[in-house]
Amino acid sequence: MSKSAPINMRVEPSQHALLTKAAALLHKDRSAFILDVACREAQNVLLDQRLFQLNEQDFVVFEQALTAPITENAALKALLKEPSPWQN
Please indicate, yes or no, if residue 38 is contained in any of the structural domains.
yes
Domain containing residue 33: 13-68
Determine how many CB atoms are found less than 10 A away from the CB of residue 33: 19
Please indicate, yes or no, if residue 6 is contained in any of the structural domains.
no
Check: pTM over 0.75? Answer yes or no.
no
Eight-state DSSP code of residue 76: H
Question: What's the domain count of the chain?
Answer: 1
Is residue 33 scored above 80 in pLDDT?
Answer: yes
Which one, of 26, 35, 37, 29, lies nearest residue 8 by Cα? 35
Is residue 4 scored above 90 in pLDDT?
Answer: no
Please indicate, yes or no, if residue 59 is contained in any of the structural domains.
yes
The model's pLDDT over 8-27, given as tens digits with 9 standing for 90+, comes to 999 999 999 999 999 999 99
The model's pLDDT over 54-65, given as tens digits with 9 standing for 90+, comes to 999 999 999 999
Residue 22: which residues within 8 A CB-CB, separation 6 or more? Answer: 33
Please indicate, yes or no, if residue 23 is contained in any of the structural domains.
yes
